[in-house]
């Protein structure tokens, strides 16, 4: 199974790439973590809805066929680490790749949210979208380590 993060944004700061890559390397081969970057649209005054819609179309085009789709959204369900580990176990049983949709600075289009089978909120806090990649990669690794009985999580 693959977990594919489909994220708006390219040319991330080095610390974002390093953080994501560190947790990507830790994931086991049977639970590969991949990143598909979407070129952000140029931000113009007053065109935010159209920009988000165009970025949303690019995200939708990048979703692999038959993938189980989860959109990262502030109104989604929150999980603690133990619950996410159980959720990851359930996702593995679906027998499908997982596509995690991460919007740009203005979030995801409505079409992306409607395409998703689940909405997931990482936090009630507003996080900068580059940081979401690192937090999400670490969170997935933590869930995997709990599920696999590794000592990474100490709670």
Per the annotation, does 66 bind a ligand? no
Per the annotation, does 121 bind a ligand? no
| Dihedrals phi, psi of 128, to nearest 5 degrees | -65, 140
62 touches 115 (CB < 8 A): no
Per the annotation, does 125 bind a ligand? yes
Per the annotation, does 89 bind a ligand? no
**Rounded distance between C-alpha atoms, residue 82 and residue 24, angstroms:** 20
Per the annotation, does 72 bind a ligand? yes
Per the annotation, does 123 bind a ligand? yes
Per the annotation, does 136 bind a ligand? no
Per the annotation, does 21 bind a ligand? no
Annotated binding-site positions: 72, 103, 122-127
Annotated binding-site positions for S-adenosyl-L-methionine: 72, 103, 122-127
């Amino acid at each position: 199974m693959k977990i594919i993060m489909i994220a708006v944004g390219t040319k991330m700061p080095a610390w974002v790439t390093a953080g994501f890559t560190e947790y990507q390397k830790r994931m086991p081969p049977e639970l590969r973590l991949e990143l598909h970057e979407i070129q952000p649209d140029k931000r113009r005054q007053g065109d935010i809805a159209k920009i988000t819609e165009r970025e949303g179309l690019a995200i939708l085009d990048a979703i692999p066929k038959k993938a189980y789709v989860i959109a990262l959204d502030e109104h989604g369900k929150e999980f603690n680490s133990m619950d996410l580990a159980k959720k990851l176990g359930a996702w593995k049983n679906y027998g499908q790749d997982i596509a995690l949709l991460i919007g740009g600075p203005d979030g995801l289009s409505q079409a992306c949210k409607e395409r998703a089978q689940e909405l997931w909120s990482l936090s009630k806090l507003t996080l900068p979208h580059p940081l979401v990649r690192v937090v999400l990669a670490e969170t997935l690794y933590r869930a995997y380590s709990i599920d696999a009985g590794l000592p990474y999580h100490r709670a």
